[in-house]
Structure 1
Amino acid sequence: MSVQDVDGVVAEDAGWEVDPGDEPVMAVLAVVGRRLKDRRERAGLSAAELGDLTGYGEDMIRKLERGDRIPRPEFLDRADEVLNAGGVVADLKNDLREVRYPKPIRDLAKMEGKAVEFNMYTNFDIHGLLQTDEFSRSIMQGWRPMYTPAQLERYLAAREARRGVLMKDPAPEFSFVQEEVSLRRPVGGRMVLRRQLEHMLEVSELPHVSIQVMPTERAEHPGSSGVIEILKFADGKAVGRMDGDFGGRPVSDPKRLRFLDLRYGIIRSMALTPVESRGFIERLLGET
């Protein structure tokens, strides 16, 4: 938890940890921290008093004001109310909208925000853009080395924000191919998996989203080397990556992109059709 609960227990952390080497984030946090401190002083409150009123300790308030932590949205809402700031403090969430996420995810989200076409093949986990919050949490809790609670919440918030690209207007075109095994693994338990499958059926009804299943019985297909992701942009450019080729690094030169396009096209042609895939997921639901 990040706010004071109904029993009056004080939460430990009002903000996410930040990498001191992430200069863009540090610059924004310095400005946000000064504004927060200015509003606190205008209200005639000490850092300890603001901590008491918001459910956090004095040390945490000072970390936020120094720019040592990224304030959580719920903290800024509570501080705005306590300081009678008229939305000035709460509006700081807009300054933090992008920088509150880890840099690799910020960079990925920027590319996804510009893409007009997504081609995604996933052979182990359900793709992050298709996951429910509880399914994402269950997956990340199983990673090793383990995230700290603050790190986990930060990455979950970032993944949730990325999913907003599915509802953009105008909407990009999405093509997902999922290996059958990724839909059978009961991550988080049977009910978590069941709600995940139900969510995928809902997403598959969107007119700009195609979800296909690659049956395990396909003895050979070109997806054995790993995940493929291709983003295409309105200006005709693209970027793609594949686990087993090019060192897993993103590529944008036409020759390598043609290689990825060819491989993805074959995978898609060998998978069940979108209609067949919906029926397959519905049958899995009946078994779960």
Structure 2
Amino acid sequence: MARAENKETAGPMARMVATVVKRMRVKEGLTQEQLGSRMGYTGAAISALETLSQPVSDDMMMQLETVLGGGTGIFAEMRPLVRLEKLPEEFRDYAQIEQKALSLCLYASSSIHGLFQTEPYARAQIAGGYPTPTEARVEELVTARMERKAIFDKKPLRLVEVILDEAALLRKFGSEEVMREQYRYLLECAQRKNVTIQILPLDVGLSGENAGDRGMMNLVETDKHNRLIYLEIQDESVLITDPVKVSTYAQRYAKIRAQALDPRASLGLIKRLAGEGT
């Protein structure tokens, strides 16, 4: 079923890769088994690529460039477009902006922000959604989510700040061990010089104010030094570029930050959840 579904849902870039691979392979006089052997794959894997029975993996794209690209760079150029095509359609425009961003100020209210998720956590969250995705689609989305983490290591370093509602920390996915691993991963992320993690406590509203009650937001400084807001709910997304609206959201984000625990206290809370603190 997954094979038939992928043939139906494969996007234009995946179809282009399949066509180019087959034509270049035939031109080189290689069988599917021979090409697969050179790339470290089976002939069946190459067949699945060419017939769109399975989505092409990022590793396969790299191997194609090395083995079949012939120094043209064609597969290297298609690689980010293939990755982009695997993302949900409503997320693709933002994903391109995110990877070029100079800074990200993030607020996540219902679950750990995607950039800060471990692979097991992401898999449990994605697989548990509705409509229920196929196993192949789950793996595709998990891989795409993990690849977004490349922004942490881009030079010059990008500032990445995340405020997590405490409810997002307490909402569990997968298993207790998955959650412990997730908490430990947050602590690791916080050790990066360009990352700040804060927690908006559950009882913040008792003070009479809770600026984070309207849900998630991503405040982005683009590579052109412009600011925009990304919002997402129920598989729908909105990119806001109007300066007046962006200013209002930026002020709201500043209020959320002010109402959150400071970074040291936030890490103390995460340590306790991870079983590493008192």
| 2:186 equivalent in structure 1 | 200
* Distance in 2 of aligned mates of 1:172 and 1:134: 25
* Distance in 1 of aligned mates of 2:199 and 2:178: 20
Higher helix residue share? 2
* Distance in 1 of aligned mates of 2:176 and 2:257: 28
* Distance in 2 of aligned mates of 1:128 and 1:221: 23
2:25–2:35 Cα contact (<8 Å) kept: no
| 2:133 equivalent in structure 1 | 147
| 1:65 equivalent in structure 2 | 50
2:36–2:46 Cα contact (<8 Å) kept: yes
Q: Which amino acid aligns with 2:175?
A: G
Unaligned ranges ≥5, structure 1: 1-11
Q: Is 2:10 the counterpart of 1:30?
A: no
| 2:124 equivalent in structure 1 | 138
Q: TM-score, normalised by structure 1?
A: 0.78
Output one character per residue of 1:46-96: Cα deviation in whole Å (capped at 9) or x when no partner: x58878995464xx7556335675422455688x7xxxx972269875233
Coordinate RMSD, CA, aligned: 3.3
Deviation at 1:283, TM superposition (A): 1.4
- Which stretch of the first structure deviates more once superposed, 111-120 or 124-133? 111-120
* Distance in 1 of aligned mates of 2:52 and 2:157: 36
Deviation at 1:267, TM superposition (A): 0.3
* Distance in 2 of aligned mates of 1:232 and 1:112: 9
Deviation at 1:97, TM superposition (A): 3.5
- Which stretch of the first structure deviates more once superposed, 180-189 or 199-208? 180-189
| 1:8 equivalent in structure 2 | none
* Distance in 1 of aligned mates of 2:143 and 2:43: 21
1:99–1:106 Cα contact (<8 Å) kept: no
Structure 2 residue matching 1:181: 3-state secondary structure: helix
* Percent of aligned pairs sharing the same letter: 26
**Closer/same/farther in 2, CA of residues 191 and 17 from structure 1, 3 Å limit:** farther
- Which stretch of the first structure deviates more once superposed, 163-172 or 68-77? 68-77
- Which stretch of the first structure deviates more once superposed, 249-258 or 87-96? 87-96
**Closer/same/farther in 2, CA of residues 258 and 27 from structure 1, 3 Å limit:** same
| 1:98 equivalent in structure 2 | 81
Structure 1 residue matching 2:185: 3-state secondary structure: helix
* Distance in 1 of aligned mates of 2:7 and 2:257: 40
| 2:267 equivalent in structure 1 | 278
Among 202, 213, 220, the alignment partner of 1:216 is 202
* Distance in 2 of aligned mates of 1:86 and 1:165: 24
**Closer/same/farther in 2, CA of residues 205 and 16 from structure 1, 3 Å limit:** farther
Structure 2 residue matching 1:236: 3-state secondary structure: coil
Output one character per residue of 1:115-173: Cα deviation in whole Å (capped at 9) or x when no partner: 11101111100000000111100111110111111111111111011111111111111
2:7–2:52 Cα contact (<8 Å) kept: no
